[in-house]
Structure 1
Amino acid sequence: MPELPLGSATFRAAAVDLGGSSGRVVSATVDGERLRIDGVHRFRNRAFTDELGLRWDAQRLYRDAVAGLTRLRQEGHAFTSVGVDAWSGDYGLLAYDGLLDAPFHQRDARTDRSFPLVEAILPAADAFRETGVTALPIMTIYQLMADREAGRLETVQRMLLMPDLLAHWLGAEEVAEATNVSSTGLALPRGNDWDARRIEALGLPSRIFPETVEPGTVTGHVTEGILAPGDTTDITTVASHDTASAVIAVPAHDENFAFVSCGTWILTGVEVDHLITSDRAREAGFTNELGLDGTVRFLRIAAGLWIVNECVREWGLDGWGARSTAARRELLARADAAPSTGVLVDTGDPRLLRPGQMTARIAELVAEAGGRMPTDRAAVVRLVLESLGAFVARQVEEAAALSGVDVQVIHLVGGGSESSILAQAVADRSGRPVVAGPSEATSMGNILVQARAHGEVRGGLGDLRRIVRASTDLRRHEPALR
């Protein structure tokens, strides 16, 4: 990545990027032509279980984010702006005296009961035809219905989606950013605002839904004392659904591409300018999510590196100490060198969505596919990554057929872009070249929206992607000849 003297760029920002298994604070400078990452502070994100179910320690995430902002501020100049992105679906409930309790995890089983309640009132097939959003138990609509049934909304004053919750604690107003609203199941088509009709039909209190704002809106200032004395740092909404931020940083040249954003989840699709609401699209499991500048991400959501992470946790290698980190690196290196197992499983199988006993679930799928479960851990990792690649290739074909986009290249971004096994498997199975990188796509997309909002970058989505191409070392994987 090209080196810029610190201070030569007029704009410095921080991205708080929260994922399902880890979080990071990334600082960067932008000069209108290039983005340079100055520092990264990483921390762990682990759910916990109590008597009510699976939860997130949101307050610890906030403390870790503040620690990262403070450290990175001490290492460089002041931030003009801070933006927060996170996974979709989950939220915090605010009562008069603050957070009601720890936010529920989207994988908690409580939506098993609320899903049919919503379906009886608002059938998923009708909702898809109206909004293009498919029905998934992890969505906000089903979680809020579970809260309503449990009587948890009676004293609640506001519901804030996870990135908006942390931004509020940093000093922002209580708002809801539009790209994230679009994935809740409670939005008007294209996520322009909350759908009052659907909210009323479900008996949800309208008071809890905050004002919807667009990416690039300044909603407050970082609370005094979090950064250096005398700093004035804006809080700017970004495309706060982490996939929306990641797709901004897809280094594409034109519209004939598919994207794969691979982290805990793997999201595969194409970028279009309209909703795709056909019955065939719904039956194939695709959904429509709002992107930057009115774009639509037509995509399929499935388990991604979550599968590998759960195996690693089962093997006791998920610690953050030097020994665990070295063991994970050694495992991934052995997976790179291991031969193909010759068997693939369907990584879209819902059995892989729940935590716990992941290797047993994989073994069950391997047996159903007529194979034999490897005994070597590196071989298991390779099997999962190759299976993810085959799954992605199928989704690219489906997305192209359903959207009419003539996909010429596939862009793989996020943490999964660092896996040569995954990238090559996608290329081989799809018959299309795969461009891997950037791995920090979400943070880069986050920061570029802030830069544009503050006038450091001008133009549209293509101009932001030009900066990504100029700022990133990309790796191209060609499909093997058959």
Structure 2
Amino acid sequence: MTKSYVAVDIGASSGRLMLGTIESKKLQLKEMYRFKNGFTMENGHDRWNIDSIIHEIFLGLEKIKAAGYEDVVLGIDTWAVDYVLVGMDGKKIQDPISYRDARTKDAMKELTSDLPKSYIYKKTGIQFLNFNTLYQLYEESKDDLEKTDKIMMIPDYIGYVLTGNAVTEVTNASTTQMLNLREGLFDKNLLDKVNVSQDQFPRLVESGTILGNIRHKWHKEFDLPETEVVTVATHDTASAVLGAPGENDHWAYLSSGTWSLLGTELNVPENGEMAFKENYTNEWGAYGTYRFLKNIMGLWMIQCVKRELNDEYSFSDLAELAQQVKPFQQFMDVNDERFTNPGSMIQEIQTYCKETEQTVPETPGELAMAIYSNLALYYANEIQKLDKILGYKLESLNIVGGGSNVKLLNQLTSTLSNIEVYAGPGEATAIGNLIVQMITKNDINNIADGRKMIHDSFEIKTFKPESDKYGNTLQRYQEFLENKGRVTVQ
């Protein structure tokens, strides 16, 4: 009998439950339930309503049972770095604070004035982002930490509520910037610096660990199928990379969603001087791999613009309007902190262009093209850096996630990077989540077989470079970044 698998895939703006089955050696995927997500101001901070998220998961499982699925396997992935503090009574102390909250604005600067960045990077191999868990804990309420029995990453906490069993899954734990690359454990010196201890984290486990069945008490409250929970690659990017088919030996990936995660898969971490200088990360992947990548501002910018335009335009509408606008009318450093959580993304983009004496985008199409063309420029710049750090030329780029559907962005990226782009699957995160479950339950032999099945099951579109179409645009953009916006666009 064909097993039924459920991927609970939760992002910053929405969550969904995706049903996966294997039929005729192909992966079949069906969205069964979707719900909205987001943070709100509560007790002075931007927080996630974690109880509401869990409630929505139960409602989704009820829908799945109503559709005739009595027995399922389930895995959970979410965004990284955020956590829940759990008290001695086994309950959350407060709703978790979002990584976009302003509390960590100066935390990295303060902490690294005492512990040098080079020291932290040598230990962890993790990039410096001011919202990493290390800096969140540095700013955490001392009173709350004193009450804390366990610190759980968001997907681990959800799994704990569902099953009663607590673990710390490594792909998400690595994003904390507190795991020691050499020891494979949380680093004591870094934990001491933020006033937490090793025993406050549940035991570390690898992706593919069986967590347990949903507790009996939840079956009394909701009409649920029999559900076995597998701890998958719980960081959504780790799942997305597993869901990328990979076309050759030297392939790169771009997980294109709210964030853009650009990198490659390594068997040995790369935390040398050049990687440190360029702020590349070595997040732990499933099955003994490392995700060597760079965090880049992603579709968050266009998501904000769409919302500010009262959702009058769909994402495909905005991409179509952008195609009617000449690209590269302005250069932007899309990773500038000012774009992380502005009051108005449209105003922030326009102010940035005024300050750098560039053409100010006004219309929806101009704003969309400004975002897409600068994302493509940033990607191309980072691919060049990746080649230098790795010591070999990457042969292809596999774009997965929602951004893989934006043809304009894919083509601009291929041309500027002079690299062949394979776009798809769009649902790579949910697919990667399912693949780990299927390997754990022996329906797939290994990740290589899983990726082959992905390639055979979903449409992958190819984009080839349009040679010399944009002249020295990338070089001028690189000069712009080096001079911090003081080069006027020609």
Equivalent pair of 2:253/2:262 in contact (CA under 8 Å):
yes
Corresponding residue of 1:282: 276
How many correspondences in the alignment?
465
CA pair 411-74 structure 1, distance change in 2 beyond 3 A: same
Give distance in 1, aligned partners of 2:435 and 2:387.
28
Corresponding residue of 1:358: 345
Equivalent pair of 1:181/1:193 in contact (CA under 8 Å):
no
Structure 1 unaligned runs (5+)? 1-8, 318-323
Give distance in 2, aligned partners of 1:213 and 1:340.
46
Equivalent pair of 2:123/2:182 in contact (CA under 8 Å):
no
Displacement of 1:207 in angstroms is 3.5
One-letter code of the match for 2:48? W
Displacement of 1:190 in angstroms is 6.8
1:115 matched to 2:101: no
Give distance in 2, aligned partners of 1:356 and 1:63.
30
Aligned with 2:8: secondary structure? strand
CA pair 256-389 structure 1, distance change in 2 beyond 3 A: same
Displacement of 1:118 in angstroms is 2.5
2:441 aligned to 429, 454, 457, which one?
454
Displacement of 1:112 in angstroms is 2.4
Deviation string 1:362-411 (CA, Å, 9 cap, x unpaired) is 12333355431222112211220121111111111111210124211111
Corresponding residue of 1:196: 188
Give distance in 2, aligned partners of 1:32 and 1:404.
41
1:466 aligned to 439, 449, 452, which one?
452
CA pair 280-441 structure 1, distance change in 2 beyond 3 A: same
1:94 matched to 2:86: yes
1:301-450 matched pairs, under 5 angstroms: 301-317=295-311, 327=314, 329-340=316-327, 342-368=329-355, 370-450=357-437
1:270 matched to 2:295: no
Structure 2 unaligned runs (5+)? 469-490
One-letter code of the match for 1:145? Y
Aligned with 1:99: secondary structure? coil
TM-score by length of 2: 0.90
Displacement of 1:440 in angstroms is 0.5
Aligned with 1:183: secondary structure? helix
Give distance in 2, aligned partners of 1:207 and 1:268.
33
Corresponding residue of 1:128: 121
Deviation string 1:240-295 (CA, Å, 9 cap, x unpaired) is 11111000111113321111001111111111111111222112121111111111
Displacement of 1:329 in angstroms is 4.7
Equivalent pair of 1:438/1:472 in contact (CA under 8 Å):
yes
Give distance in 1, aligned partners of 2:356 and 2:456.
44
Equivalent pair of 1:247/1:445 in contact (CA under 8 Å):
yes
CA pair 365-355 structure 1, distance change in 2 beyond 3 A: closer
Give distance in 2, aligned partners of 1:328 and 1:247.
23
Give distance in 1, aligned partners of 2:262 and 2:106.
28
Give distance in 2, aligned partners of 1:405 and 1:171.
45
1:67 aligned to 45, 53, 59, which one?
59
Aligned with 1:466: secondary structure? helix
CA pair 448-44 structure 1, distance change in 2 beyond 3 A: same
Identical-pair percentage: 29
CA pair 343-152 structure 1, distance change in 2 beyond 3 A: same
Deviation string 1:159-187 (CA, Å, 9 cap, x unpaired) is 11011111112215111101111111111
2:253 aligned to 256, 259, 267, which one?
259
2:134 aligned to 128, 141, 146, which one?
141
1:476 aligned to 452, 457, 462, which one?
462
